[in-house]
Amino acid sequence: MQRTDQPITIINAEGLILGRMASIIAKRLLKGEKIVIVNAEKAVLSGKRKSKVKEAKEFLQVGHPKKGPFHSRRPDRIIRRTVRGMLPYKQPKGKQAQKRLKAFIGIPEELKDQNMETLAQADAKKLTCPYFTLAELAEEIGWNPGE
């Protein structure tokens, strides 16, 4: 059962590890929470940059240019897709949960003065390995920040 009176939670993705953040958000979405992610481009991927970019470029080669599957290069859409991978999106509850998620590059004007939370469990300060931002990956695979 969904609660419609639940307030919107705004999460600042700046300095959060992408996978850990996505798994926490997926669980909260399935519980019926509405979540907005801001600063999507400042989320962090752990690992060596060169190998992760190579991996992403190989993934983009899959499919037909006109028939798909089509892969997004924008950081906000990459986050939405990452969360979707952690939801049972082929079932009605997963589709409903996905609809309760919004992601933005930067902070939209209407959300600037709102209270934002961060996820301590997904903080990148805990990492001892190399890491880089989602914006850096997106630019490497073809995202133009000016669009």
Local confidence band at 65 (pLDDT 50, 70, 90 cut-offs):
confident
Q: For 31-69, where are the alpha helices, taking DSSP H only?
A: 49-60
Local confidence band at 1 (pLDDT 50, 70, 90 cut-offs):
very low
- Output the six-digit token pair for 64: 């037909």
What domains lie within the chain, and their CATH numbers?
A: 8-140 (3.90.1180.10)
Indicate whether 114 pLDDT > 50. Answer: yes
Local confidence band at 43 (pLDDT 50, 70, 90 cut-offs):
very high
Buried b (16+ CB within 10 A) or exposed e, 17-42: bbbbbbbbbbebbbeebbbbbbbbbb
Which residue would you say has higher pLDDT here, 18 or 146? 18
Q: Once rounded to an integer, what is the mean pLDDT over residues 16-24?
A: 97
Three-state DSSP class for 63? coil
pTM of the model: 0.90
